[in-house]
């Protein structure tokens, strides 16, 4: 995985505008593919503990926004691409909430467990953060590769100064996690592993950016 070489000004402005407005908490809209009388099992995304990355947290608040996503992903359906570009969903199975909201919740939990900063809050709560984390979720589905299911997660993350909407960094994260089996519980476990890997990589990327930002803020305050 490599950082994005460049992000268009239009895309970055779009992310920044939504972050600062606190409007990234998108609803779980979308049409159901399931008959109304078919029983549905709802799944929580498995949680894995993220190791601490700092002996002492940085004195700052990070707000985490719900990632933007297209209609197919902005729902509680467990999306699968059985062949080619065909989009479908696992019958009788749903997430506990929409995929972007679940991802935001896991990002917040991972950041808190990492001990990187003093406070982690959801964007748009009224608290004034130092930095905002958000982005675009372009993949959160199972794709079949050579007949085998693989969970794919692609997130274009943006870390932005809350004071002036200037980016501290942007990066594309692409995760592929093979599924050990083809049943829904096995698919859910693979999603949990993929999101754990994603959050670990995000925190490793954020750490030096936030440390540099904290140092620069301290230097300006000392002058």
Judge contact between 196 and 44, C-beta under 8 A.
no
176 backbone φψ class: left, alpha, beta (φ>0; ψ -120 to 50): beta
Q: Tell me the C-alpha distance between 18 and 222, whole Å.
A: 33
Judge contact between 38 and 193, C-beta under 8 A.
no
pTM of this structure: 0.82
pLDDT at 152 over 70: yes
- Residue 168 burial by Cβ neighbours in a 10 Å radius (0-12, 13-18, 19+): middle
- pLDDT tier, 220 (very low <50, low <70, confident <90, very high otherwise): low
What is residue 160's three-state secondary structure?
Answer: strand
pLDDT at 104 over 90: yes
pLDDT at 23 over 70: no
pLDDT at 9 over 90: no
Position 84 scores a pLDDT of 83
Which residues does residue 80 pair with via DSSP β-bridges, in sequence order?
88, 142
Judge contact between 71 and 82, C-beta under 8 A.
no
Segment 119-142, tens digit of pLDDT = 999 998 888 899 999 999 999 999
Residue 208 per-residue DSSP state: H
Q: Which domains does the chain have, with CATH numbers?
A: 9-28+43-222 (3.40.50.10610)
């Amino acid at each position: 995985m490599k950082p994005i070489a460049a992000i268009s000004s239009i895309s970055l402005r779009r992310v920044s505008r939504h972050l600062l407005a606190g409007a990234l908490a998108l609803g779980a809209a979308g049409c159901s593919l399931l008959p109304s009388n078919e029983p549905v099992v709802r799944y929580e995304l498995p949680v894995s503990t993220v190791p601490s990355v700092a002996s002492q947290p940085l004195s700052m608040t990070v707000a985490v926004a719900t990632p933007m996503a297209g209609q197919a992903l902005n729902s509680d359906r467990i999306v699968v691409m059985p062949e080619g570009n065909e989009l479908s969903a696992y019958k009788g199975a749903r997430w506990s909430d929409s995929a972007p909201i679940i991802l935001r919740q896991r990002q917040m939990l991972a950041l808190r467990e990492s001990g990187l900063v003093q406070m982690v809050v959801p964007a748009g709560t009224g608290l004034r953060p130092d930095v905002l984390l958000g982005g675009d979720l372009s993949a959160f589905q199972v794709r079949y590769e050579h007949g085998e299911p693989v969970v794919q997660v692609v997130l274009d993350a943006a870390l932005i100064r809350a004071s002036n909407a200037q980016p501290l960094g942007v990066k594309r994260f692409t995760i592929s996690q093979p599924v050990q089996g083809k049943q829904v519980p096995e698919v859910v476990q693979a999603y949990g592993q993929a999101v754990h890997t994603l959050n670990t990589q995000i925190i490793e990327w954020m750490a030096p950016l936030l440390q540099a930002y904290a140092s620069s803020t301290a230097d300006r305050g000392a002058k």
